[in-house]
A and B are shown apart, each in its own frame.
Chain A
């Protein structure tokens, strides 16, 4: 649809919203995010119910290492900010700026992921895993689901960057990047919830 609609682009509107196709796809993506929120909400509910169901295994307090998690949080927060900068460059139609900021975003994401994997390995070596108790099942699945989402986001946004590098900024690539950015912010917001519900509460209780 891209070519057909390029001529009908309205001025003064962000490129990704300029044609009907862009607007429809962005709405569709918001709806998808709504479903994702319900998905995570269910996992949070399970986790919170299972908070003290550790059987005779270790508790969160004994295992959690908050320092790494705080760093992770900062990495993801900053990456959200840099992806915002990428969107800003998108509006200015500055391909190079977009690519640079987005690559920084992805690198931050990769480091976040590395730390998470590391965290999991440490925990497992300290003797907890998915089958230790209901609590640890809930922990690994909730945080792991977020991690899988981040992995998916990194691959997906990289593919979009390849397209931007090849074709520059047009209605299609800007829409894709905009949606990728939304997704990235969403993952950040979910992480804030995880940080609060999992790590802060886990340390206190």
Chain B
């Protein structure tokens, strides 16, 4: 290669060019990066960053990092959503070109589901679940850090496509032949395949970690049927992850091999079957939506029973319905492609199995309502999100049952009716739960509350904006507007509805901005949580100081029933416990290896994206070297002395006495 060839490559292929917004983004990203590097250097914070965050194996800090990255992704996915809605606000708009539009809805969907919703929930599980079961840590702290960093490098790789090489444009489902090598050569689709692959490995290891944690690390006395319901939902979610994610691994890998090495898994030449990809994808993809909704159900259950000040109604029914949902989730995948022309018998089977899911879900809704019934209800922000969830989710669920009817689906398929349905369940289910959980556990993470007034403003604006956006979408869908069209003609009767949708979308955007502002505001002025139990909670995480100390529990709690902390408070055991002598606590060592290993994964991924095999293999060698180093690691950890624990617990308690 001579110099001018290199230049052509950089301008022609490597850096994305042409669109002024992208130039602006490139400049912004460069400036932000320089800004961050400068600030860290100026404030001499590099060491702090490395010691406290990049090398940490503390599940609470890892949870917080998940949440930070997920918030950033919510910003990115939300910006994409606003771009989509701006383009569709009026007929014949030319805000985005057709190609850019394809890229934007693809990144919007992918980022929202895989890099925002799921990691956000995993972050909350990381923060709360070990505390709820009275554990000092997760089963595999080092692996936990690795999981996070894999998610992070996958997410960064995927996002890089925006400025280097070009964004994927084949939809979040990435079906061949559109996503195959013939129709989409070049790096774009590779970003999708490899970014998701790396992040997916991280998710799988998280699932394994959580299952082992819940099965083996519970405090004495905590039988399975005494576990908080959020912990139950984490367990079932993790089991779904364990059985679903390997299928995604295969689907992505086979398509990657098709593209990079010319195999014929999904190409019709060579007798491959594109519909094989579709099947594999949804065999993972449908369970994935339960990975997104079950933890959300868990959060709502905790929040509702805390703020109704009652024990969760029908605890056992809740557990069993989650188990049934998880089983059913693996036998409904064909409802995503009734129109692909399977046999009628197959379509009927999947139609009925899909509708069956409504039954256990309905059971849960009734249990929440009965928990509220005659409760002493407190309308905190967290609780508002949980209460707002129910009516909206029912709308989403009811339209879901409509879609589950195979013959009717020929009408709804790939229309805005479908788009509205899944946003109703995903936003009112997952996004509301994320915000509920964020407000609920914030004090445990940071030691202060989020501001309630700002929180409520954001809530109301968001809920209204949400319905203003998606109710018209149902209608315009029934009128025939199909998904993934970048513009439409005048005179179809869609204009007003679309315009209203766009207004609603902007309202949600403002609501998100208020939430972000609230985080900043509350960090400065938020009410400090001196008791460790700001909501008069029921589960064990509220029995320890806020923010939770790194060893979690100075004394391992003894559990006597469901709502363990509530029982302790009733029996007045909390004070007595503090007088018992402390024992040294064993802690795992921090490690820079997970970060480094993920960095090599990133390098390798970047190499394969560009089909530079040497770089891909080099990265993998780096990964291998670190794995070898790890095998020889003694990983003995260290002890926190009983004196140190005493000092810290006193300091936390002194605060309580000041009150």
Cβ of A11 under 8 Å from chain B: no
Identify the closest chain B residue to A135 (Cβ): B271
Residues of B with C-beta under 8 A to A189:
none
In the complex, which residues 606-659 of chain B have their Cβ closer than 8 Å to any Cβ of chain A?
A: 628, 631-632, 634-637, 639
Q: Are B586 and A4 in contact (CB under 8 A)?
A: yes
Query: CB < 8 Å: which of A39, A134, A156 contacts B250?
Result: A39
- Contact pattern, B 185-220, Cβ under 8 Å of A = 1, otherwise 0: 000000000000000000010011101100111000
Residues of B with C-beta under 8 A to A39:
246-247, 249-250
Q: Are A138 and B280 in contact (CB under 8 A)?
A: no
Residues of B with C-beta under 8 A to A34:
242-243
Q: Are A35 and B254 in contact (CB under 8 A)?
A: no
For the complex formed, measure the closest distance between the CB of A90 and the CB atoms of chain B, giving whole angstroms.
18
Q: Are A46 and B139 in contact (CB under 8 A)?
A: no
Complex: how many Å from CA A160 to CA B269?
A: 46
Cβ of B257 under 8 Å from chain A: yes
Cβ of A43 under 8 Å from chain B: yes
Identify the closest chain B residue to A23 (Cβ): B216
For the complex formed, measure the closest distance between the CB of B417 and the CB atoms of chain A, giving whole angstroms.
32
Q: Are B270 and A131 in contact (CB under 8 A)?
A: yes
Complex: how many Å from CA A50 to CA B262?
A: 16
Cβ of B172 under 8 Å from chain A: no
Q: Are A27 and B265 in contact (CB under 8 A)?
A: no
Cβ of B263 under 8 Å from chain A: yes
Residues of A with C-beta under 8 A to B261:
130-131
Cβ of B377 under 8 Å from chain A: no
Cβ of A38 under 8 Å from chain B: yes
Q: Are B242 and A24 in contact (CB under 8 A)?
A: no
Summarize B's interface: helix, strand, loop or mixed: helix
Cβ of A32 under 8 Å from chain B: yes
Q: Are B265 and A28 in contact (CB under 8 A)?
A: no
Cβ of B140 under 8 Å from chain A: yes
For the complex formed, measure the closest distance between the CB of A45 and the CB atoms of chain B, giving whole angstroms.
8
Cβ of A36 under 8 Å from chain B: yes
With an 8 Å Cβ cutoff, the count of chain A residues facing the other chain is 40
Give the number of residue pairs across the A-B interface with Cβ within 8 Å.
119
Q: Are B208 and A159 in contact (CB under 8 A)?
A: no
Cβ of A1 under 8 Å from chain B: yes
Complex: how many Å from CA A3 to CA B584?
A: 14
Complex: how many Å from CA A54 to CA B271?
A: 7
Q: Are A134 and B634 in contact (CB under 8 A)?
A: no
Q: Are B254 and A141 in contact (CB under 8 A)?
A: yes
Complex: how many Å from CA A36 to CA B250?
A: 11
Cβ of B272 under 8 Å from chain A: yes
For the complex formed, measure the closest distance between the CB of A55 and the CB atoms of chain B, giving whole angstroms.
5
Query: CB < 8 Å: which of A25, A46, A131 contacts B254?
Result: A46
In the complex, which residues 1-57 of chain A have their Cβ closer than 8 Å to any Cβ of chain B?
A: 1-4, 20, 23-25, 27-28, 31-32, 34-36, 38-39, 42-43, 46, 49-50, 53-55
For the complex formed, measure the closest distance between the CB of B203 and the CB atoms of chain A, giving whole angstroms.
11
Cβ of A163 under 8 Å from chain B: yes
Complex: how many Å from CA A25 to CA B242?
A: 16
- Chain A CB count within 10 A is highest, among B217, B249, B631, for B631
Identify the closest chain A residue to B238 (Cβ): A31
Query: CB < 8 Å: which of B139, B208, B272 contacts A53?
Result: B272
Q: Are B271 and A53 in contact (CB under 8 A)?
A: yes
Cβ of A73 under 8 Å from chain B: no
- Contact pattern, A 122-149, Cβ under 8 Å of B = 1, otherwise 0: 0000000011111101101100000000
Complex: how many Å from CA A141 to CA B639?
A: 47
Identify the closest chain B residue to A31 (Cβ): B208
Complex: how many Å from CA A43 to CA B254?
A: 9
Residues of B with C-beta under 8 A to A159:
628, 631-632
- Contact pattern, A 181-194, Cβ under 8 Å of B = 1, otherwise 0: 00000000000000
- Contact pattern, B 248-280, Cβ under 8 Å of A = 1, otherwise 0: 011100100110011111010111110010001
Complex: how many Å from CA A50 to CA B140?
A: 39
Identify the closest chain A residue to B628 (Cβ): A159
Are A27 and B631 CB-contacts (below 8 A) given A133-B271, A137-B270? no
Complex: how many Å from CA A73 to CA B216?
A: 37
For the complex formed, measure the closest distance between the CB of B2 and the CB atoms of chain A, giving whole angstroms.
33
Residues of A with C-beta under 8 A to B271:
50, 53-55, 133-135
Q: Are B257 and A141 in contact (CB under 8 A)?
A: yes
Identify the closest chain A residue to B241 (Cβ): A35
Q: Are A27 and B212 in contact (CB under 8 A)?
A: yes
Q: Are B208 and A134 in contact (CB under 8 A)?
A: no
Identify the closest chain B residue to A40 (Cβ): B246
Q: Are B140 and A28 in contact (CB under 8 A)?
A: yes
For the complex formed, measure the closest distance between the CB of B590 and the CB atoms of chain A, giving whole angstroms.
15
Q: Are A3 and B636 in contact (CB under 8 A)?
A: yes
Q: Are B212 and A31 in contact (CB under 8 A)?
A: yes
Complex: how many Å from CA A32 to CA B637?
A: 24
Q: Are A49 and B250 in contact (CB under 8 A)?
A: no
Q: Are A141 and B243 in contact (CB under 8 A)?
A: no
Q: Are A163 and B631 in contact (CB under 8 A)?
A: yes
Q: Are B628 and A28 in contact (CB under 8 A)?
A: no
Q: Are A132 and B216 in contact (CB under 8 A)?
A: no
In the complex, which residues 71-118 of chain A have their Cβ closer than 8 Å to any Cβ of chain B?
A: none
Identify the closest chain B residue to A167 (Cβ): B634
Complex: how many Å from CA A130 to CA B262?
A: 7
Residues of A with C-beta under 8 A to B230:
none
Are A42 and B208 CB-contacts (below 8 A) given A133-B264, A133-B271, A159-B628? no
Cβ of B245 under 8 Å from chain A: yes
Residues of B with C-beta under 8 A to A53:
270-273
Query: CB < 8 Å: which of A2, A27, A131, A163 contacts B636?
Result: A2
Q: Can you sample 22 A-B contacts with CB below 8 Å?
A: A1-B588, A25-B140, A27-B139, A27-B216, A28-B140, A31-B207, A32-B208, A38-B243, A39-B250, A42-B250, A42-B251, A46-B276, A49-B273, A50-B273, A53-B272, A55-B264, A131-B261, A135-B271, A137-B265, A137-B270, A159-B631, A160-B631
B residues within 8 Å of A by Cβ?
139-140, 204, 207-209, 211-212, 215-217, 242-243, 245-247, 249-251, 254, 257-258, 261-265, 267, 269-273, 276, 280, 586, 588, 628, 631-632, 634-637, 639
The 4 closest A-B pairs by CB, nearest first: A137-B263, A53-B271, A39-B246, A134-B272
Known: A38-B242, A49-B276. 9 other contacts (CB 8 A): A31-B207, A35-B245, A39-B247, A42-B247, A46-B250, A130-B263, A131-B263, A137-B258, A159-B631
